[in-house]
């Protein structure tokens, strides 16, 4: 079960990192930047939620998932929206 979650986390990281491409014009660059920002936030939230789901049990696990989603979304946003 732990290997499956690790594989899902790695696949999410690879999917988010594959969203970046070199800009060709200002309009395309702006659109890619916005998409990258959204993808980083959503990808970070997904990865954070998956990591949080491995922690605790019962109510503690729900809190860990919520904290993982919030923290992962924040970190993903900060990394992708420079």
Where are the domains positioned within the chain?
Answer: 3-81
For residue 68, which of 39, 82, 47 has the smallest C-alpha distance?
47
Residue 50 to residue 82: CA distance in whole angstroms: 25
Residue 75 to residue 13: CA distance in whole angstroms: 13
Query: Model-level pTM?
Result: 0.60
Provide the token pair at 16: 């988010």
Percent of the chain residues topping a pLDDT of 70: 67
pLDDT at 56: 73
Average pLDDT over all residues of the chain: 78
At 15-36, the pLDDT tens digits run: 656 555 555 566 656 666 777 7
The answer to whether the beta carbons of residues 65 and 52 sit under 8 Å apart is yes
């Amino acid at each position: 079960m732990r290997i499956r979650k690790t594989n899902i986390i790695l696949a999410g990281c690879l999917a988010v990192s594959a969203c970046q491409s070199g800009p060709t014009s200002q309009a395309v660059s702006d659109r890619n930047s916005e998409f990258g920002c959204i993808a980083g936030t959503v990808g970070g939230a997904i990865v954070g939620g998956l990591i949080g789901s491995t922690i605790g049990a019962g109510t503690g696990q729900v809190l860990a998932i919520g904290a993982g989603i919030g923290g992962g979304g924040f970190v993903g946003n900060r990394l992708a929206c420079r």
